[in-house]
Amino acid sequence: MPRGLQLVFIAIGLVIIGVLLVYIWRQSRLLSEQRLRQKKTEEFQARRRDEMIESIRIIAMAVEEDQVEYSEACLRFKGLLDYLAPELLEKPPFQVFQTVHDKIQHMPTHQARKNTDSATIREMDKERFAVEREHSDEIRQAATAIRHHRFD
């Protein structure tokens, strides 16, 4: 084989090696960035989960010390447990959170409540307080149980 052809093949081989090295370097950099993003996402999710668990514990303590209305606590428990451990809402003693939620979820909250006339609000409050009285013992027991529950 002529010497010039050998040099052309060597040059082509070197170019191919160079292109492959650049490709490998870019892929490794993308992989590193992807791992870093995944790590940050996992850390964020773990931190968010810990904050939700802490919120549950704080709400439970507030229920135990009668610092929060039971209906509000049930709505908050339900919302947090929907993300953390929805299966708990089907098991005793925690199913009371779902039960109370289902009975009062039709009632307006926040701005919608402010926009509702006061006579309707009074009627809904009577209904809500009746639900709270009906389930008060169960709610307190469930709050104590959820405060001590281990979320794995």
Closest C-alpha to 72, from 118, 146, 125, 119: 125
Query: CB–CB of 39/31 below 8 Å?
Result: no
pTM of the model: 0.76
User: Amino acid letter at 9?
Assistant: F
- The widest CA-to-CA distance across the chain, in whole angstroms, is 102
Give, in order, the Cα–Cα distances in Å from 101 to each of 89, 96, 97, 121. 11, 8, 6, 17
Q: Tens-of-pLDDT digits for all 152 residues of the chain?
A: 899 899 999 999 999 999 999 999 999 999 999 999 999 999 999 999 999 999 999 999 999 999 999 999 999 999 999 999 999 999 999 999 999 999 998 887 778 777 878 888 888 889 999 999 999 999 999 999 999 999 97
Q: Where are the domains of the chain?
A: 3-148
User: Amino acid letter at 145?
Assistant: A
Nearest-angstrom CA–CA distance, 63 and 122: 23
- Residue 88: DSSP 8-state: G
Intra-chain end-to-end CA distance of the chain, in Å: 70
